[in-house]
């Protein structure tokens, strides 16, 4: 165990997630973890994105629109969106048993629903749009990182969307409402509330809560998360603009498909 980790464990044992007004990783209460976004990282997918949120490392890949199989599952009026969230066995401290489990089925479902108001499914009757989110390394907030990555990958694939979806969690540690809990904070904190939002219209498309917040804390947390979603939205947009301006000038590898950005 490295020194930093030892200190963290010690503080956790003493139930001190906040010290001298700072969190254990040095962040203020309203501070996001560092974010890194790369667009178009996979050659074979129609759209893709690598997303880092602190220690979370996530890849999203989008395929489609393509013919929906099995055919009986087609929707004659619009495309069907499939969303698969998966944690790699090596993404957590102890090896995670590979394959779907109750949690990943739930995260896949709520993540798919987070995109329902934005993907213009009516453009592609009988088609399927497949979204894969792979968690390579996890440190809490993986569903929010996955949604952010998927949003950019969908845009990279040229899937028509009303806007991007941005996502972050807020929660409570040592009685304080804080933004974007890391793994230690999530494990030892009092509440965790992931949200997803269409930043331009303030439409909330996902809201879950684990633990307890008072009505006042809920209101404050929601406001904090909405502000952070706007910050993330700007980073997503900037990454897409960079991707498409560099591919226009020919400096990035060319990929086929219908690229139109957002």
Q: Which residues bind ligand ADP (CB under 6 A)?
A: 92, 96, 103, 138-143, 183, 186, 192, 194
Q: Kindly tell me which of 65 and 183 has the beta carbon lying closer to ligand ADP.
A: 183
- CA-based nearest residue to 143, from 230, 234, 210: 210
Q: C-beta of 20: minimal distance to ligand ADP in Å?
A: 26
Q: Kindly tell me which of 206 and 240 has the beta carbon lying closer to ligand ADP.
A: 206
Question: Helices (DSSP H) in the chain: which residue ranges?
Answer: 3-13, 102-114, 142-156, 183-188, 215-248
The whole-angstrom separation of Cα 253 and Cα 26 is: 38
Cα dihedral sign, 84-228-215-191: positive
Cα dihedral sign, 90-93-99-104: negative
Q: Kindly tell me which of 40 and 183 has the beta carbon lying closer to ligand ADP.
A: 183
Question: What would the DSSP string read from start to end of 120-188?
Answer: -GGGSTTEEEEEEEEEEE-SS-HHHHHHHHHHHHHHHTT--BSS--EEEEEEEETTEEEES--HHHHHH
Q: C-beta of 229: minimal distance to ligand ADP in Å?
A: 15
Q: C-beta of 168: minimal distance to ligand ADP in Å?
A: 11
The whole-angstrom separation of Cα 191 and Cα 254 is: 44
Q: Kindly tell me which of 196 and 240 has the beta carbon lying closer to ligand ADP.
A: 196
Q: Kindly tell me which of 100 and 257 has the beta carbon lying closer to ligand ADP.
A: 100
Q: C-beta of 25: minimal distance to ligand ADP in Å?
A: 15
Q: Kindly tell me which of 138 and 236 has the beta carbon lying closer to ligand ADP.
A: 138
Q: C-beta of 214: minimal distance to ligand ADP in Å?
A: 21
The whole-angstrom separation of Cα 105 and Cα 109 is: 6
């Amino acid at each position: 165990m490295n020194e930093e980790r030892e200190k963290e464990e010690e503080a956790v044992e003493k139930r001190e997630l906040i010290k001298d007004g700072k969190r254990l990783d040095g962040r203020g209460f309203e501070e996001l973890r560092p974010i890194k976004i790369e667009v178009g990282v996979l050659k074979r997918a129609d759209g893709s994105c690598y997303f880092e949120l602190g220690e979370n490392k996530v890849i999203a890949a989008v395929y489609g629109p393509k013919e929906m199989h099995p055919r009986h599952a087609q929707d004659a009026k619009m495309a069907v969106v499939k969303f698969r969230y998966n944690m790699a066995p090596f993404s957590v401290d102890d090896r995670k048993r590979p394959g779907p489990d109750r949690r990943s089925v739930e995260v896949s479902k709520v993540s798919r629903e987070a995109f329902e108001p934005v993907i213009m499914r009516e453009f592609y009757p009988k088609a399927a749009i497949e979204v894969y989110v792979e968690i390579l390394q996890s440190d809490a907030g993986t569903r929010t990182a996955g949604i952010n990555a998927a949003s950019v990958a969908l845009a990279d694939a040229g899937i028509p969307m009303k806007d991007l979806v941005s996502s972050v969690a807020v929660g409570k540690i040592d009685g304080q409402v804080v933004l974007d809990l890391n793994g230690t904070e999530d494990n030892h904190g009092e509440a965790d509330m992931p949200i997803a939002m269409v930043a331009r219209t303030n439409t909330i498309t996902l809201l879950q809560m684990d633990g307890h917040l008072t009505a006042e804390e809920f209101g404050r947390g929601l406001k904090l998360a909405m502000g952070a979603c706007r910050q993330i939205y700007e980073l997503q947009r900037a990454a897409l603009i960079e991707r498409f301006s560099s591919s226009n000038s020919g400096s990035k590898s060319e990929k086929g498909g219908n690229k139109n950005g957002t």
